[in-house]
Structure 1
Amino acid sequence: MPTGGLLLVIAGLFAAGTVVTWLAVTHLVHASGLAGTSGHLEVEACTWSRSGGHRYPHCHGVFRSDDGTVVDPGATIDSHLSVGSTVGLRRTASGGYERTGAGALFGWLAVSLLGLAVLVLGAAAAGVLAGARGSPRKLMLLLAGLLAAMLASALAGGVAGIAGAF
């Protein structure tokens, strides 16, 4: 690949890694309980919408904050939940809702690690382009560690999500 094309790939890796990491971390802080208003959604109904050949769930109900200061009778979350169930959520500053618990926490952690891995891959490619000798090897070891942690986190999130479904 010519140098100009490689520069474009490196720029794309940095851009994608930055966006994925930023989005995942914003969700991660809510899933972990570090941001937002803690409360519960009493699921009253769920509907499905279609877009691009896929079906997407939307569950509606009443959100009540744990401290009783926020009540939202029109709360909606884009997750498939059981009608009549009560689930823990965090209300974001924008008025949206995020799932909490181990499944959501490990899931968003896995996506955050994926974003970091893409950033490290971009740094390694930049190192190769610059002619660095030792740096790309260290970055590849870091990349392997990030990917291993990402897979472990995704597995933990999957197990927690399945266990929470019962």
Structure 2
Amino acid sequence: MTVSVETRTGATLWFTGLPSAGKTTLATALAERLSEHDRRVEILDGDAVRPVLSPELGYSRADRDANVARIGWVSSLLSRNGVLTLAAVVSPFAAARDSVRTLHESAGVPFLEIHVATAVDVCAERDVKGLYAKQREGGMQGLTGTGGPGGEYEPPLQPELIVDTSGRTVSDTVDELISLLEKENLL
């Protein structure tokens, strides 16, 4: 019996940005669009993956970095097996993201960092999880992007793409992502 194996190149698109920037929204819309291209796609949403891969971790820098490393390892595994992996993870620290990039490079897998660079005031206005309101009310500290201990966010210095979701349609932004994939010969 002959087994057919898809020979398309996999890759990871790593969406990084503040909470409520639009990372998961873009990853979900891109996955839907990619179904038109008959691509195998997986979304690794940080909020959905954390309780499974990292339930014992908190939100210290070391714990956040460990969570990013675990998600990075899974994304590399999927991608080297021909899957377009869309990782939507706040991943606030550049060194942790760089380690994930290095892991992909050592596996010969494309890694495209997408900085969802939506301004903090727009993210706070969206506040899809109620985190910004909770911080304002004193119910939490260290929300990424709000400064102070635990609230740092280090924007990528050389991402493959920077998108700001403020005042743009999801469809227009997904068009930009599709163009990037075409440019990288991943469609």
Q: Tell me whether the two structures share a fold, i.e. TM-score over 0.5.
A: no
Which structure: greater helix fraction? 1
Structure 1 or 2: more strand by fraction: 1
- Please, what TM-score do these two structures have when normalized by structure 1? 0.24
Scaled by the length of structure 2, the TM-score of the pair is 0.22
